[in-house]
Homo-oligomer: A and B are copies of this chain.
Amino acid sequence: MDERVREHAEVLVDWSARVAAGDDVVVSVAEDAHDLAVAVAAALGERGANVTTLYDSEEVSRAYLKGSESRDGDFESDPAVDLAVFEAADVYLRLGGGRNTTATADVPAPVRQAYATARQGVREARMGTDWVSTVHPTRSLAQQAGMAYEEYQEFAYDAILRDWETLAEEMAEMKRILDAGNEVRLVTERDDAPDTDISMSIAGRTAVNSAASVAYDSHNLPSGEVFTAPYDTEGEAFFDVPMTIEATRVRNVRLVFENGEVVDFAAETGEDALASVLDTDPGARRLGELGIGMNRGIDRFTDSILFDEKMGDTVHMAVGRAYDACLPQGATGNDSAVHVDLITDVSRNSRLEVDGEVVQRDGRFRWEDGFA
């Protein structure tokens, strides 16, 4: 076995999910994630955890959903077995990595939505576990990223096999600044792109040090971002990192906020997809997340939000739903059916301020060498 696969499994089981003896662990295995599943099973056997493996095949899902069309996509609410699985589980490890990122492309959107809507309780039970989502680098993901397979493997393991403890300490510094702050402002001034000058309140909100571990309320591997739930957004921002929204490529998005809401928007490509997101519900026009990417193992965009939003020297903002972890106990933040991240490069001609003090300039944080 590739030693990196074994290391990936050990980071996932020990650092990310904190699996202990006796834990009931559900592992879902995408079509091409077999090798990682083998390594994870070995680690779980060593730790004395129990394991149940689910087959998470997009082709199987497509067949089921297309089959259901003859019944007008009428799905039972929270079917008993799936609910029982996640109610009984302590830990859920999702091993992504299929063979075709567009395997469900011909399933009509209403069928997908009906299926998702019918499974809200299953989703809540799953979110109630110590869940972690990761991917095994596959040829299909390499293709999505426009990379050769071995090149993509190196990219993915650079992102995943970090010194998480050290990165968590560095990110704790950013969390302290955001937790103590009241207002964040991001300014970028570049010749080749529209300016960004956007401000938002973060008073009373708690930042998450997303250090790829449930111990940090962080559920992605890789991770490496600090995020919070802003409100009262004002100004305009330009997002230059291309991404895929609802299977549509979207590039160079511009959003204008007034009184916390998007009042104007544009995109060089994919503007219809962006409009559809913003029209979902009132919450879709407000920010739900501000995130600071701090994983410098990620050095390029690969059209995968799991990686892109954590890239060092980027900042992302999501329209839509806010995460509870950022809110005061019992409070409700921005609510929406969507949560769509938009990313901007801050490696040059940029500054991020908290309460008027520059925290990051041209990609350098104020505690780093080279910060001017």
Query: Residues of A with Cβ closer than 8 Å to B?
Result: 22, 24, 26, 29, 31, 34, 37-39, 41-46, 48, 50-57, 59-61, 63-71, 74, 76, 79-85, 87-89
Contacts and interface: CB of A to CB of B under 8 A. Distances in A.
A51 B26 CA distance: 17
Contacts of A46: 67-68, 70-71
B64 A51 contact: yes
Given A50-B76, A55-B54, A63 B42 contact: yes
Contacts of A52: 54, 79, 81-82, 85
A120 to B, nearest CB: 15
Contacts of A81: 24, 26, 50, 52, 85, 88-89
Contacts of A59: 34, 38
A21 to B, nearest CB: 8
B50 A68 contact: no
Contacts of A66: 42, 45
B48 A64 contact: no
Given A29-B60, A34-B60, A51-B64, 18 more contacts: A22-B76, A24-B79, A34-B59, A38-B59, A41-B60, A41-B64, A42-B63, A45-B63, A46-B67, A48-B68, A50-B79, A50-B80, A52-B81, A53-B55, A54-B54, A81-B89, A84-B85, A84-B88
B64 A45 contact: yes
A23 to B, nearest CB: 10
Contact of A38 (B34, B39, B60): B60
Interface centre among A53, A64, A87 (most CB of B within 10 A): A64
A55 B29 contact: yes
A56 B54 CA distance: 8
Contacts of A37: 55, 57, 60
Nearest to A69: B45
Contacts of A42: 63-64, 66-67
A52 B81 CA distance: 7
